[in-house]
A = this chain, B = another copy of it.
Amino acid sequence: MRANSQTRREKQKEELRAQILRAAGEEFSAHGYDGFSLRRVAERIGYSPTTIYLYFRGKDDLLLETVRDGFAHFDAQIERAATHSDPSRRLCEIGLAYLRFGLENPALYRLMFLQRADFFVLRLTGIGTPDEQQNALEAQNAPHHRVAAQDFLVKTIEEGIRRGEFRAQNPIFQADALWAAMHGLVSLAIGPLMSPEHAQEIAPQLLEILIDGLKP
């Protein structure tokens, strides 16, 4: 009985946490990083602002968790999409999955890749004062979380090279070119500069050209 009750409580707690995270994502998407307001998040879920402090250490922590969730979600989705054994096709799958994730989670994508990515990259590591982090940022060039997807690309290209399907070139360059192109497409499509539909029409052609460019 006791255990049961405890389980239920934990479940409730987990649920409220998730609810907060969801609301935070929406708030963020609506007002951007600096316009983000804890109070409005609280209002959105019908709790008092204070309550959020029971689940998160503060504003930054909440945003951090939001983005952490986002990256997990993102990694999983990319890996799930990459099913084909043929490297060319797999590259295409990855690219389309990348676009799809961006279009389906525009706020999150912004948060992760466009707005203040620097902030989070370092905050996720969690060390140093803001100034030190700033310096560190300038010194290092270590992408952190995205490596997952990037590694995926690199490995797939390497496999293609091993199979003789792609020319033997620096696979990192190729991977980054692909990534840049898809990132550009997403960035435009989640802004007012290009419609999502247009981006989805362009994507296959763009991918085809780029993947063809890898071949001998």
Contacts and interface: CB of A to CB of B under 8 A. Distances in A.
Interface of A: 31-36, 113-118, 121, 137, 141, 143, 146, 173, 176-177, 179-185, 187-188, 191-195, 198-199, 201-202, 205-206, 209-210, 212-213
Given A137-B192, A193-B146, A195-B141, A114 B117 contact: no
Nearest to A212: B213
Give the number of times this chain occurs in the complex, counting copies: 4
Nearest to A172: B198
Given A143-B192, A177-B202, 13 more contacts: A34-B36, A117-B191, A117-B192, A141-B194, A143-B193, A143-B194, A146-B193, A173-B205, A176-B194, A177-B209, A179-B184, A180-B181, A180-B187
A200 to B, nearest CB: 12
A174 to B, nearest CB: 8
Nearest to A118: B192
A176 B192 contact: no
B191 A187 contact: no
A36 B173 CA distance: 36
Contacts of A198: 141, 176
Given A31-B34, A32-B35, A34-B31, A177 B206 contact: yes
A198 B175 CA distance: 12
Contacts of A36: 34
A32 B63 CA distance: 16
A187 B32 contact: no
Contacts of A33: 31-32, 34-35
Contacts of A192: 117-118, 121, 137, 141, 143
Contacts of A146: 193
Contacts of A113: 187, 191, 193
Contacts of A212: 213
Contacts of A188: 176, 179-180, 183
